[in-house]
Structure 1
Amino acid sequence: MARPTMEDVAARAGVSRALVSLVMRGSPKVSAARRAAVLTAAAELGYSPHAMARSLASRTSHVLGVMVSDLHNPFWAEVVDGLDGHARAAGFELVINTGGRSPARERRALRSLTSFRPAGIALLGPVVPSPAITAAADIPLVLISRSSRLSTVDTVNDDGRAGSALAVDHLVALGHRHIVHIDGGTGSQAAPRRTGYRLAMARYGLAPRVVHGEYTEAAGAAAIRALRRPFTAVIAANDLNAVGVLSALAEAGLRVPADVSVVGYDNTWLAALRHIGLTTIDQPRAEMGRLAASALISRVRGERTKPVRHLLRPTLVTRATTGPPPAPDPMP
């Protein structure tokens, strides 16, 4: 059966299409009796206004675009939950696509989102080059886990330097000296986390050891397989990366945490699974999404022009994957 239209609703209610349009836009110019007739007809037919068409007709969009860099990372799902909840409460709908962690694909995804004429766009962990962001900044933009100096772009980040330092502090307090960091490569926020690790290691007089990686499970496993000991602890790029680390350590016959301690980053639901029990750095995912939606909507409503720069403080969540380093072999 074809999707019911405004014409169908108008015919059922015995009114004009123009009046149905006024009702759907919430116009105060319609009498209570006619409004009730239109809404009853719409309910009977199962009609709901198409968000895109309504935006084009009224030239006022209530749609927010969201581009997620990596749909495989559960961190972003939890951020989108927070963003969606705040947006819906404010009367906005989301249109979501993905960039697949590819700059070229993200550029195309951004162009696709702008074609919907959204009120604003949230970019979650984008790796697209800065010029592409600058080109799209004629509409409200907010970046999550990416910095920007553009006055027309808002940002929501956690303090990656502080987060990595928390991980180093925790491991050093347990007695570790040989701590490896598998980084996120060219991914969003990999650089500040890498810097925070290096600075914290230097503070303790320890030699840093960074292994190039990605925010993926496969990259975590590959890094461990390529690593030579000695190392007694690993700070992974994120929770997904840490799962790959745990898998490769098990393949190598190394026990966690008896032989090697592992720390993740993000504190997703994955880390909290009982059989994983990952010690990790917590980013307030839902709060980051809420702040991003709030920033976009305040721009859309013209409530401010100055950029907001949210920098949230991460925290350490201790679980079962960290403990003291193994005792040295006894002297013969």
Structure 2
Amino acid sequence: MGDVDSGRQRKGTGSNKRPRLEDVAARVGVSTASVSLVLRGVAGPSERTRERVLKAAADLGYQVDRTASTLASRRSRLLGVLVDIHSPFHAELVEHLHIAAEEVGYDLVLSTQTRTRDQNTAIETLLAFRSEALILLAPSAPADTLAALDRKAPVIVVGRRIAEGELDVVRTADDDGVGQIVDHLVGLGHRAIAYVDGGKGVIATDRRRGYRTAMRRHGLDEHIRVLRGDHTEASGERAARHLIDSGDLPTAVVAYNDQCAIGVLTALTRAGVAVPAEVSVAGYDDDTLSRLSCFNLTTVSQGAREQARYAVAAAVERLDQDREEPREVVLTPELVVRGSIAEPREG
């Protein structure tokens, strides 16, 4: 009985042991160097050897020890990404960043900003994981703070203008994007166009300026109406209720982003105000929610795929090509017209 128990114990211990590179090499009958080349995707071994190594690794449950390979190479080949966990647009950006990074032999480390976890904490986590460069999605930190961070690791700011021009930036022209919405609404015959603001910060400032500039360009100064808001659905709902309670509904509402616009649309619909027959609604970002048929939201695309590719390219240029001069890439946003806007109501 004791022999049986000890036999089971030995078997259990062996089955719990993590497979090593040497185990894969022994299974195939090749050197550990050949196995390493195959698993890293480096040229050299024949196609037959590659197939056998990959099959053996899968059969054994072998996984690459990233920590060990990092220590051996002294490079992590990791790009740290700061992301707002509540932003659908950031989620889409991350998906494209993964694809772009993998194509050039890098991987991502994600650190999230939440209501209880600030950007400083999130960024320190990225540095602790030895991220070679930092891709920060719409960071709110002051420009001088970001410049100081850039001295620790190359910083690429995505989605936000940096006035001083001392950092790598990839963004769209936010003021132009909001201007495109206003231009289109005016072209449909709208005059009473309200704007739900995005609160503090450079991005909100640029989009608010785009609204005011476009309204003035069309001679609609007296119709400029900016309501308090932020990036959430709740703020859009509050703004819409304020408009309803005022008894002076505009014919169109432009919101800071898609989440805010969805809040506006939801509150109007709940109050019996038909969208777009009575009030047209537009957002900004072209995130995944805006494309749902239940919202069918007119919005502005920031080109998530293009921003991701430029951001990764900027990081690689800083890390592998020793580029030192900062560079700003400003993409032209694109109006995406869907079913949430129409010609203004009569009267």
Q: Which bracket does the TM-score occupy, shorter chain normalised?
A: 0.7 to 0.9
SS in 2 for 1:66: strand
TM-score normalized with structure 2 length: 0.83
- Which amino acid letter does the alignment assign opposite residue 219 of structure 1? S
| Paired position in structure 1 for 2:76 | 61
Contact 2:281 2:297 in 1 (8 A): yes
Paired with 2:175 and 2:65, the residues of 1 have a C-alpha distance of: 44
What is the match of residue 261 of structure 2?
242
Partner of 1:84: 98
CA offset at residue 5 of structure 1?
Answer: 3.7
Matched, 1:125 2:138: yes
Q: Per the alignment, do residues 274 and 99 of structure 1 end up closer, same or farther by CA in structure 2, a change over 3 Å counting?
A: same
Distance 1:244 1:52 in 2: 45
Q: 1:290 to 1:249 in 2, by over 3 A?
A: same
Task: Output one character per residue of 1:1-52: Cα deviation in whole Å (capped at 9) or x when no partner.
Answer: 3543446556767899889768766789x988xx879767544422232334
Of the structure 1 ranges 267-276 and 114-123, higher mean CA displacement relative to structure 2 is found in 267-276
Q: CA deviation at 1:95?
A: 1.2
1:253-291 CA distance string (max 9 Å, x none): 111111111111112232222222111112111111111
Structure 1 residue 111 displacement after superposition? 0.2
Residues 137-194 of structure 1 deviation map (CA, whole Å, 9 limit, x = unaligned): 1212111112235776311111011111111111111222211111211255111110
Residue pairs, 1:21-32, within 5 angstroms: none
- Does 2:304 match 1:285? yes
Distance 1:22 1:276 in 2: 50
Unaligned residue ranges in structure 1 (runs of 5+): none
- 8 Å CA contact 1:152–1:305 kept in 2: the answer is no
Give distance in 1, aligned partners of 2:68 and 2:227: 49
Structure possessing the higher radius of gyration over alpha carbons: 2
- Identity %, equivalent residues: 43
**Structure 2: gaps (5+ residues):** 1-15
**1:86-105 superposed matches below 5 A:** 86-100=100-114, 105=118
Contact 1:151/1:306 (<8 A) preserved: no
Secondary structure of the equivalent of 2:283? strand
Task: Report what 1:223 is aligned to.
Answer: 239
TM-score by length of structure 1 reads 0.86
Residue aligning to 2:153: 139
Residue 210 of structure 1 corresponds to which residue in structure 2?
226
Matched, 1:50 2:65: yes
**Aligned partner of residue 96 in structure 1, secondary structure:** strand
Q: How many residues align?
A: 324
Checking the alignment, whether the CA contact within 8 Å between 1:64 and 1:121 is kept in structure 2 is yes
Distance 2:321 2:82 in 1: 23
Say which SS state the counterpart of residue 256 (structure 1) adopts: coil
- Higher helix content, 1 or 2: 2
